[in-house]
């Protein structure tokens, strides 16, 4: 197995702490020549992830789409079980496939787990005093590999997770928008996103000139805070990108958006999350209570998987020895 460098993530600690999960910023990393991210090795990884009998996601841990798209396109990435095995073939012919392939939860595989855990420890150390509190709020950490064909676009979207992306092969431009800009991210869109529609965020070409564009090259990357809209376009080359993300524990923010979604449906104009901390807490409690009742009916829902607990234990041990 390839050794993991003594660090993966590089960033100025002042910038890292100032803008953590608020604004995007550039990072550097040590993975550009890492053997686990070479195409022939990724073909084998795609085979293993596609063949999982107990995938993390109910729809499987492999998603892909073929053909050219634009920033505002909403392609279908869902793959029935019988199609998932094609992912490895697409990776093999990625140069010509006009494809976008996503391999989720690669930290379940030997080698990739060590890379992700090293990146997580680096992030938590760079976070300084806030790192300890941040660690407690995390439900699990995930690593995703994206493999994309030359000139392929990844459509505009937002994510629930707080991410760092590491460009490993090829050039790729990422267009990021300020989540605080309510022309770009109307509150109603976030409420629909967290409540009923994973694809509620809508690309608005009239605001494209407000995007912050980073031209990523191997060895560079960016931080993407929760709810920060983004879309990407490859250069004229195959791109390999790693995403390491933090998923928060209590979904408190999600519950605020859900609560506001229903209040707005009643004709009310709810306060924005963060505007009134007491009201926020009441809304979140109301929703957490509703979820607890639901969980009694469906015991599997929302339970943290045992591997996530093992992962947090290992990372806590690494953090303790790193001090």
Tokens of residue 269, six digits: 């104009």
Cα of 56 vs its chain's centroid, Å? 15
CB closer to Fe ion, 154 vs 259 = 154
Site string for Fe ion, 230-269 (x = CB under 5 A): ----------------------------------------
Whether the CB-CB separation of 103 and 145 falls below 8 Å is answered with: yes
Nearest approach, Cβ of 157 to Fe ion (angstroms)? 6
CB closer to Fe ion, 65 vs 260 = 65
CB closer to Fe ion, 152 vs 312 = 152
* In the block, residue with structure tokens 């699990």: 140
Residues 151-180 binding Fe ion (CB under 5 A) are: 159
Nearest approach, Cβ of 210 to Fe ion (angstroms)? 18
Nearest approach, Cβ of 185 to Fe ion (angstroms)? 14
Nearest approach, Cβ of 209 to Fe ion (angstroms)? 21
Alpha carbon separation from 150 to 42, 190, 280 (Å, rounded): 17, 31, 45
**Measured distance CA(224)–CA(243) in Å, rounded:** 10
CB closer to Fe ion, 117 vs 159 = 159
Number of residues engaging Fe ion in binding (CB under 5 A): 1
Residue closest to 97 by CA, chosen among 46, 150, 146:
150
Nearest approach, Cβ of 290 to Fe ion (angstroms)? 28
Task: Please state the φ and ψ torsions of residue 29, each to the nearest 5 degrees.
Answer: -160, 175
Residue whose CB is nearest to Fe ion in the complex, by number:
159
Cα of 261 vs its chain's centroid, Å? 23
CB closer to Fe ion, 107 vs 159 = 159
**Measured distance CA(259)–CA(196) in Å, rounded:** 12
Q: Given the rule CB under 5 A, which residues bind Fe ion?
A: 159
């Amino acid at each position: 197995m390839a050794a993991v460098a003594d660090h993966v993530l590089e960033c100025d600690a002042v910038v890292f702490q100032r803008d953590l999960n608020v604004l995007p910023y550039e990072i550097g990393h040590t993975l550009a020549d890492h053997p686990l991210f070479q195409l022939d090795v990724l073909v084998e990884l795609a085979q293993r992830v596609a063949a999982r009998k107990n995938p993390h996601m109910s729809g499987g841990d492999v998603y892909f789409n073929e053909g050219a798209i634009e920033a505002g396109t909403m392609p279908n990435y869902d793959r029935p079980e019988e199609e998932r095995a094609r992912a490895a073939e697409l990776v093999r012919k990625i140069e010509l496939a006009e494809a976008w392939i996503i391999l989720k939860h690669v930290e379940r595989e030997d080698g990739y787990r060590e890379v992700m855990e090293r990146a997580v420890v680096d992030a938590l150390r760079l976070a300084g005093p806030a790192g300890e509190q941040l660690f407690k709020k995390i439900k699990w950490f995930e690593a995703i590999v994206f493999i994309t064909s030359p000139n392929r676009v990844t459509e505009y979207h937002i994510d629930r997770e707080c991410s760092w992306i590491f460009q490993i092969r090829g050039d790729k431009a990422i267009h990021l928008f300020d989540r605080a800009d309510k022309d770009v991210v109307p509150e109603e869109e976030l409420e629909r996103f967290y409540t009923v529609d994973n694809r509620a965020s809508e690309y608005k070409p009239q605001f494209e000139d407000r995007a912050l564009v980073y031209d990523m090259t191997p060895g560079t990357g960016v931080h993407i805070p929760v709810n920060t809209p983004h879309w990407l376009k490859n250069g004229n080359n195959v791109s390999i990108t790693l995403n390491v993300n933090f998923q928060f524990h209590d979904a408190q923010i999600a519950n605020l958006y859900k609560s506001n979604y229903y209040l707005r449906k009643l004709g009310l104009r709810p306060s924005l999350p963060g505007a009134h901390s007491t009201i926020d807490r009441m809304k979140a409690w109301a929703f957490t209570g509703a979820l607890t009742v639901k969980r009694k009916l469906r015991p599997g829902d929302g339970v943290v998987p045992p591997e996530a607990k093992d992962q947090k234990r290992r990372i806590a041990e690494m953090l303790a020895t790193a001090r």
